[in-house]
Structure 1
């Protein structure tokens, strides 16, 4: 029984590697693949790293922290899920990038916790451009105010913008949302701190829509299901 189990595990690791190779073949070299490892075991997550993907995304703070010290390799951890203010203190200083800063309250909390730990935290501002009740995020009209607030924070480094594509199979609507975020990204890249900034990340696109996101200028995609499908 153990031999069968080990073979099955090896087969699955090889499938994960093939899945990753397929995704990488679909995207330009300058687009970063973040593997979304939520709900996957340490062994499955390690298989992703062993396949050469070092950017890992988790949706829950407790899951990220539980895996963080168990995964071997030069991993860059990304927090990509809905963020509660009471969880910020656990993430500051522990992750490479927080994608889901979706309110002024969160900006203020990240600044406070980062100052306490004497670190600078890299963030993305999340926008809910599809105006869907199930998603968090700033409205497009709040871009200037959110960016201005971050500019006042000595312990936050704005790296760019993030959104989740709309829940639809209508590719035109998906294109429209991603194109809108790209326009916003291009704007702040020029205007934020008069262009003297480190904005380089446009995080959009998941398993169902990452090809569209790449077409519209994404520099980072977040893919889970397509990596782990058997």
Structure 2
């Protein structure tokens, strides 16, 4: 197995300025008979409510409730999780996703494979959590066994975008695909620039009070009169499948 990309809310909250990684043995070009690797770069922004005030009633779900009710607990927290593993020999992408983070596999400008969002109800994703003793059995705590697992055959040049819900709540697919069109090769600098461009655009839209974001549309579909982006942690990992060389 090769190139495990995993993260959750807790990781994203720890990202202050940026996040990047790459495998120097993966390069571009060539045929499709050998081993595959990933050239990966990333960018992220922590959650910062100081940039804008949330509208009254704009914070929903057990995650927000959990934090508000148990601020004094010594150890607490919840996290979605998304794991993406490329088997470089079989060229198969193995994934496990729990919650509302997720991934896209893009080929020829189209999404050919993606994760499914897991929600208990509106804005309350499946999540791994550590509750204070007095709250055990009260707050949501899902088992890793509840993760949605898939396997998918990838090809050279496939783009794999892995991200927290801070991206998907603020940018619909068509916006993401428009940004990915700017990615012309598997050069690390190009991937890094595109990952940063996507994360920065999502971060800007998150604080736009007049933008009808995917999150706001989902809220309206659930009977809530909400408009604007959703301030949240944003982590974007962008990978291109390339030939693996020793």
TM-score, normalization: structure 2? 0.26
**Normalized per residue, which structure has more helix?**
1
Higher strand share: 2
TM score, norm. by length of structure 1: 0.27
